[in-house]
Amino acid sequence: MAETEKDMLLIETREHVAYITLNRPERRNALSLGLQSALVQAFSDAGENDDVWAIVLTGAGDRAFCAGGDLKEMDEIAREKRRFPVPMTGLHRNVFEAVLETYKPTIASLNGPAIAGGCELALACDMRIAAAHATIGMPEVKIGMGANFASVLLPRLVPRAIAFQMLYTGESLTAEEAARHGLFNAVVAKENLAVETERMVREIVANAPLTLRRYKEMATKGWELSVHAALRLNAGPNPYLSEDREEGIRARLERRPPRWKGR
């Protein structure tokens, strides 16, 4: 039976968190064109859903978070002389850009290696928590690809020399190396990944949702601006004039948990 976009991606929303799971464990969660399309739609839906305050992205199984593009599908495209999907062109939005520009906190929970496009997918998220066996790397140079997204993001996230080492050699970093360079926020035992991811995301969504969105949008849109320009950007919802700001201050004074409304 043919694989459908619905089969490739599992989506659950629970207590203000959207859990999105790549569901192609037999293919190491490789990014087929169908899966990429489903991911763009899932992140778009979560971004527009006021009941979603944060997003967790992970993969099924423990062999890989995501092994990158579906090489078998790419080979079929080449053999059939069809147009190869070039990043940032064509009819459909680039999946990594769509994840990066989802203006809510995003966590990649790396249940295994994040390789090539899987690395780029992890880089597009705000934070990364990894099982101890999860490596991260960009082997695109070994197969003649371009690493379009990673070549831009990596030098912004790690020291320039480390970024070029990853890009030029195509070799992966271990979880410990990635954590040392700031790519991973935490490395945990494989059996503890789900629990520690949940702890991390619950700590985030305990906070004011409008402020979370404000942080994400300001940090993303102001990334390459001067300090003076970024301070005047005023991107995202304005928490200063919100009901939640009144509630947050009152709750602090009354020594109780705040009751956020997202407005």
Q: Could you list the active site residues?
A: 120, 140
Q: Is 68 left (phi over 0), alpha (psi -120 to 50) or beta?
A: left
* Strand-pair partners of 127: 107
Q: Tell me the two tokens of residue 164.
A: 């070029």
Q: Which residues contact 253 (CB under 8 A, 6 or more apart)?
A: none
Q: How many CB atoms lie within 10 A of CB 125?
A: 21
Is residue 6 a contact partner of residue 34, using CB atoms and an 8 Å limit?
no
